[in-house]
Structures are given as structure tokens and as C-alpha cells.
């Protein structure tokens, strides 16, 4: 009789030598000779494989031929202490069922190293590689850590809408949602499309942020967070932008900018610690992979070892400085003076590009940096207006290798100031009346921020391209699978 299935992860730490167990999984490699075969089997529960030892003469030849890379098999076997170094247990096969073959002539994944670019085209199968299984196990752990962190703190998980009727935040960067017939849309007298006839009776889009609705929740429940998909039709084909990404947006009543910074730093460190405590074998694998990849680079250009980097961020306070201080540093730094930046910083008011953010983090401070008090012209209408009349209580958190990982602010709670700013910036106050009600009735200091989940994943896994930390990336000209 077949034993109950045991996952590879549990089997590898089992000491029940001599007992009979069943494992199911996918073949990574098979090697050996006419007498004995070694099959490395992985079931996704861990980065590590269980080695199956097969006494060739006692098995049907046709059956063994079907055990190729990618095939799914079920193995009944005896647990034995491993003779080989590195692993503690292996399985002596008693019987094997081939559940699903993988014709080696056709199976796209060979038992060799494939490039990440190749695997991106095979995203439906890349879960089966060590690299991507590690990345997506860590992704799960990070998502779990998000909920654990906020739940422990008494925040409420709030589901904000994905379809929105307001385009206050994302002018020009939004995906339209419509059920109108694109070949024959209803028209107004002036020839423009009549959205009154559309599904929602108005123009609707996919959300670029849940913040505005999040604020409504915070001004009643106290502390909330969102964690959901976000859509941006920005045509920026970078290694840090997706058209569909996941964002975590906490919003807190009675928090000022300092409280906001403290929470964000604690949150990022919590996630990093969670990864170190729960994902070490995957992190170690990714670290080795990274070091392998950087072998060709000069010592100066190599990044800090992954686990060391995570521990370093955990152990150090983030640097906090104002935009104005940052501009002074940037204006006088070598790459700026030698015009090495693509965008040269010539004065106060310039928007910071990722090259500037990374200079501050990687060269100047060599630590995560929280930048606050940005010029109001380069930030959103809802940010708290500072007394200087020039800056707003924004905070961006910049991470090594990434640039901006968090964008947040204290929110303007004063009705008159908010409306004035909306008018100055051309944000329609009539459409946003519901938002303004929070400032009309029981307004109070409040703050929040947005963390791009995939940017955090880039940092924790050390992967270089954001398309490699989300299962099925959506980016310009790419919505495969």
C-alpha cells in the first residue's frame, strides 16, 4: 500500500531512517550508470532536492527511460542516511510511478543554466527552475510578512477599488475600463465619445493607487493598509517599472511625518528580518547565483553579498535628510560637476532621477535614505504644505540598487489649503467632493505611504529586473500568459 505523501522539505529533516515513505515531484536531473541511477527530485516545497537512489536492474527499463528532466513521478522508497556529503537523507526507491512524462526532445528546460531572458519567454515553466522557485517562495513569505506586521500593530486590511471613476492621481497614466463597442461607440453631438452610455455611466479607469480611498478608511478605523494590484500605463520600459504591480499602502490617522517615517522604517526592517528568519536556504541559493553572475565584474562594481546586505540594512538606522540638503550634496558631487549624470542638477527645484537617488544611497551614505520636504511643484496636491510655503511634507525612501522604494507623505488636513492647492494644480474639486468631506468633517493630522511590493522583492532577492520577481509581468508590449 502506498504511504501518505511527505513533502521534500519535511523529508530532508526527517531522521526516520529505515521507514517507508512516498514523495511526488518533478525530476530535476538523472545521472548514473547501468547499475545505479541518482534522480534529483523537487516538489517545490524547498530549494533542495531529495536524491532518489535507483537500483537499475530491479526496475523496468522502459519505466526508467521515462524518468527525464521535467517528468512528474511518484516514488515509494526507504529513507536512508546519505553517504554523500551535503545532504543528510536520500530515498532508496522501492517502486516508481511516472505520473507525467516530459519528452526531452520537446521540454524547453534543459538540465543546464538558462538565461533569465530566455526564461522570461517561458514564464509558464520558469517556476520549475531553482531560481524562480526561490523567488516565488520568498514572494509568498514577504506577502505573509506584510499582513503579519500590520495585523500585529492593529491595522485593518482594507480593500480599495481597482476600477475608479476619478483620475485625480494618474492623469495620462491610466488604463481605461469600458464596455463600449470600439467600432461603433455612442457619440456626443460634438463627435466625442459619450461615456454616459458606458457601463458605469462615466469614464472609468484602473486605479494607480488606493490612497485616496484609504484615507477615508483611516479617518474612521484609525489605521488601515491596502495590499493589491495597481496599474500604470506609463511607457517607461525600465527594470523597475511594471504596468501592473502590487502596492502596500498604509494610511494612519494622527500620524505626522516623523511617525510616518518611523513606521516605514520599522516595516521595511520587519520584512527583511522575516526573510532572514524564514527564507535562508532560498536566500543562500540566490546569493550564490548572484556571486556567480558577478564573477566577471571588477571588485568595485560588485554588490554586497545578499545576506550580508540584508543584515546590514537591518542593523543600521536609515539616513534622514531634507530635499534641500540632498540638492546641496548632489550639486557639489563629482559626477554632477563632471556632467556624468544624464540630468545635471543645477539648482533647487529639480526632480530627482533614479541616478541621483542611487548616488545618495550607494555612494554618499551607503545606507537607505529617507528624503523629506520636497518642493511642492514636483509632488501631489494632497501633501501637507509646510510653513515655508515652498515645500511639502513628502517622504521618499531610497534603497541601494533600487532607488525609490517608498513614496509617502503627511496629508494636508486643512480644507482651505487643500482646495487652494487643488485649484492651482487643476485637480477637479467637484469630482473629488467625497475626498474633501474628510477635511470638512472631523479632519485631523494623518499620513501614509506606498511601498511597491516588487521593488521590495528586487531588494530582498537581489534580482536585477522587476519582470523576474512577479509571476507574469505586464509591461509595454507584453501581456503574455
Query: Footprint of ligand ATP on this chain (CB under 6 A)?
Result: 232, 234, 241-242, 245, 247, 404-407, 450-452, 454-455
Minimum CB–partner distance for residue 470 and ligand ATP (Å): 9
Cβ burial, residue 312 (10 Å; 0-12/13-18/19+): middle
CA distances (Å), origin 436, targets 97, 270, 391, 427, 428: 65, 34, 22, 12, 11
Minimum CB–partner distance for residue 128 and ligand ATP (Å): 26
Minimum CB–partner distance for residue 234 and ligand ATP (Å): 6
Task: Compute, in degrees rounded to 10, the torsion defined by CA atoms 83, 69, 140, 87.
Answer: 0
d(CA 139, CA 117): 20
Closer to ligand ATP at the Cβ: 88 or 235? 235
d(CA 460, CA 290): 12
d(CA 336, CA 340): 6
> CB within 8 A of 416, min separation 6: which ones?
none
Number of neighbouring beta carbons within 10 Å of residue 445: 15
CA angle 245, 248, 249 (to 5 degrees): 125
Contact 234, 105 (CB under 8 A): no
d(CA 207, CA 184): 26
Closer to ligand ATP at the Cβ: 48 or 475? 475
Strands 163-164 and 89-100: unpaired
Minimum CB–partner distance for residue 406 and ligand ATP (Å): 5
Closer to ligand ATP at the Cβ: 39 or 146? 146
Closer to ligand ATP at the Cβ: 8 or 466? 466
Give the sign of the dihedral formed by CA 217, CA 218, CA 221, CA 226.
positive
Minimum CB–partner distance for residue 172 and ligand ATP (Å): 12
d(CA 65, CA 366): 54
Closer to ligand ATP at the Cβ: 262 or 292? 262
Minimum CB–partner distance for residue 448 and ligand ATP (Å): 11
Minimum CB–partner distance for residue 471 and ligand ATP (Å): 15
Closer to ligand ATP at the Cβ: 214 or 452? 452
Closer to ligand ATP at the Cβ: 42 or 475? 475
Closer to ligand ATP at the Cβ: 6 or 456? 456
> CB within 8 A of 195, min separation 6: which ones?
178, 180, 201, 202, 203
Minimum CB–partner distance for residue 305 and ligand ATP (Å): 24
Report which of 478, 475, 400, 471 is spatially closest to residue 119, judged by C-alpha positions.
Answer: 471
Closer to ligand ATP at the Cβ: 40 or 158? 158
| Residue 36, strand partner residues | 55
Minimum CB–partner distance for residue 333 and ligand ATP (Å): 20
Minimum CB–partner distance for residue 456 and ligand ATP (Å): 8
Closer to ligand ATP at the Cβ: 68 or 380? 380
**Gyration radius of the chain over CA positions:** 27
Closer to ligand ATP at the Cβ: 328 or 404? 404
| Residue 52, strand partner residues | 39, 91
Give, rounded to a whole angstrom, the gap between the first and last alpha carbons of the chain.
40
Minimum CB–partner distance for residue 226 and ligand ATP (Å): 12
Amino acid at each position: 500500500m502506498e504511504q501518505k505523501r511527505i513533502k521534500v522539505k519535511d523529508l530532508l529533516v526527517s531522521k526516520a531512517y529505515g521507514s517507508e515513505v512516498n514523495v511526488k515531484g518533478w525530476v530535476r536531473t538523472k545521472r548514473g550508470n547501468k547499475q545505479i541511477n541518482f534522480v534529483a527530485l523537487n516538489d517545490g516545497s524547498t530549494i533542495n532536492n531529495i536524491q532518489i537512489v535507483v537500483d537499475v536492474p530491479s526496475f523496468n527499463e522502459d519505466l526508467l527511460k521515462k524518468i527525464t528532466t521535467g517528468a512528474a513521478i511518484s516514488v515509494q522508497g526507504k529513507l536512508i542516511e546519505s553517504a554523500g556529503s551535503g545532504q543528510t537523507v536520500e530515498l532508496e526507491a522501492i517502486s516508481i510511478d511516472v505520473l507525467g512524462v516530459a519528452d526531452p526532445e520537446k521540454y524547453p528546460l534543459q538540465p543546464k543554466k538558462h538565461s533569465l531572458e530566455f526564461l522570461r519567454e517561458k514564464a509558464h515553466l520558469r517556476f520549475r527552475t531553482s531560481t524562480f522557485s526561490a523567488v516565488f517562495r520568498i514572494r509568498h513569505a514577504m506577502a505573509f510578512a506584510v499582513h503579519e506586521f500590520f495585523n500585529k500593530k492593529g491595522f485593518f486590511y482594507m480593500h480599495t477599488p481597482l476600477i475608479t471613476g476619478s483620475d485625480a492621481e494618474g492623469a495620462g497614466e491610466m488604463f481605461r475600463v469600458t464596455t463600449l463597442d470600439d467600432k461603433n461607440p455612442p457619440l456626443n453631438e460634438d463627435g466625442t465619445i459619450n461615456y454616459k452610455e458606458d457601463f458605469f455611466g462615466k469614464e472609468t479607469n484602473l486605479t494607480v493607487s488606493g490612497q485616496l480611498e484609504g484615507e477615508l478608511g483611516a479617518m474612521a478605523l484609525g489605521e488601515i493598509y491596502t495590499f493589491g494590484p495597481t496599474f500604470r500605463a506609463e511607457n517607461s520600459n525600465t527594470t523597475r517599472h511594471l504596468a501592473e504591480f502590487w502596492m502596500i499602502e498604509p494610511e494612519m490617522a494622527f500620524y505626522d511625518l516623523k511617525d510616518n517615517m518611523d513606521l516605514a522604517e520599522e516595516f521595511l526592517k520587519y520584512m527583511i528580518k522575516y526573510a532572514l528568519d524564514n527564507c535562508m536556504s532560498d536566500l543562500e541559493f540566490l546569493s550564490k547565483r548572484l556571486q556567480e553572475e558577478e564573477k566577471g565584474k571588477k571588485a568595485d562594481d560588485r554588490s554586497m553579498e545578499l545576506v550580508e546586505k540584508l543584515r546590514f540594512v537591518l542593523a543600521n538606522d536609515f539616513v534622514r535628510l531634507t530635499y534641500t540638503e540632498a540638492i546641496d550634496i548632489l550639486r557639489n558631487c563629482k559626477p554632477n560637476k563632471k556632467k556624468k549624470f544624464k540630468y545635471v542638477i543645477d539648482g533647487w527645484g529639480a526632480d530627482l532621477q533614479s541616478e541621483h537617488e542611487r548616488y545618495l544611497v550607494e555612494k554618499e551614505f551607503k545606507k537607505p535614505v529617507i528624503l523629506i520636504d520636497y518642493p511642492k511643484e514636483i509632488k501631489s496636491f494632497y501633501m501637507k504644505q509646510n510653513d515655508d510655503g515652498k515645500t511639502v511634507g513628502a517622504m521618499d525612501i531610497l534603497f541601494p540598487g533600487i532607488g525609490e522604494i517608498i513614496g509617502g507623505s503627511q496629508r494636508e488636513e486643512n480644507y482651505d489649503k487643500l482646495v487652494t492647492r487643488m485649484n492651482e494644480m487643476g485637480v477637479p474639486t467637484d469630482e473629488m467632493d467625497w475626498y474633501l468631506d474628510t477635511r470638512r468633517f472631523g479632519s485631523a493630522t494623518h499620513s501614509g505611504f506606498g511601498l511597491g511590493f516588487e521593488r521590495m522583492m528586487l531588494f530582498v532577492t537581489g534580482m536585477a529586473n522587476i519582470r523576474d520577481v512577479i509571476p507574469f509581468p505586464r509591461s509595454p508590449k507584453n501581456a503574455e500568459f
